Amino acid sequence: MPEHCVITFFKDVMEEVAAERQAIQLVENRWEDGPHPVYEIQHNGQRLAYMHGGIGASLSAALLEEVIGFGCRKFIVCGGCGVLDAGVDVGALTIVKDAVRDEGVSYHYLPPGRTVAAHPAGVAALEAELERRGVPHRIARTWTTAAPYRETPGKIAARRDEGCVTVEMEAAGLLAVAQFRGVPLGCVLYGGDDLSGAEWDNRDWQSKGDVRRRLFWLAADACLAL
């Protein structure tokens, strides 16, 4: 099993990578909802694993536990997110500094607390890769929720007051597992739907295939630098 692993939420990109790089399936990892495989490719002369992160912190955390058990030790996560500020454009990149723990998984791994921090090495690897490529980005706090249909105006305003720029469903759980298991993990998100206004704005964010592809390979390079 490769030491380095990219965890992504882009199934479309995963399929492209598998075809273009002749990916090898290392583990099928069948669950009741179907397989959650781990793949391997060669990238820049090194072995690199990649896998889908699963939707929601409970599944993501469990899959991370399993891939650590399989032998991976260094992780970069790339995904999309909602934004709490209309000034964050679709496709704009945010490196997660820390995550507000508004899910349940992290409390099974860490003492109670408001936030969980990203591993400094993960943040540094992503920042170095983005700067090397000249890609604009921010380093900021995200809000990890377990209830996307309860992202109410009051909660959104409160999370903004806490410094949250983005919202998603997995980061706090993944960061907590990584911290508990003592493995470096960084997370980078691209701006998607806008929750900052009176009405939700999808902004057609899932159609940004070019952003998703570039982000995967950026994550791959950052991961191998860990």
pLDDT at residue 198, rounded to an integer: 84
Chain centroid to CA 128: how far? 17
pLDDT at residue 197, rounded to an integer: 86
pLDDT at residue 205, rounded to an integer: 76
The answer for residues whose C-beta is within 8 angstroms of residue 33's C-beta and 6 or more apart is: none
3-state secondary structure of 65: helix
The one-digit pLDDT tens for each residue of the chain (226 residues) are 999 999 999 999 999 999 999 999 999 999 988 899 999 999 999 999 999 999 999 999 999 999 999 999 999 999 999 999 989 999 999 999 999 999 999 999 999 999 999 999 999 999 999 999 999 999 999 999 999 999 999 999 999 999 999 999 999 999 999 999 999 999 999 999 999 988 888 888 777 779 999 999 999 999 999 9
pLDDT at residue 209, rounded to an integer: 79
Residue 126 and residue 76 in contact, taking contact as beta carbons nearer than 8 Å: yes
- Domains recognised in the chain with CATH numbers: 4-224 (3.40.50.1580)
Chain centroid to CA 122: how far? 12
pLDDT at residue 202, rounded to an integer: 86
pLDDT at residue 98, rounded to an integer: 99
pLDDT at residue 32, rounded to an integer: 84
pLDDT at residue 14, rounded to an integer: 96
Among the listed residues 117, 53, 116, the one whose alpha carbon sits nearest the alpha carbon of residue 80: 53
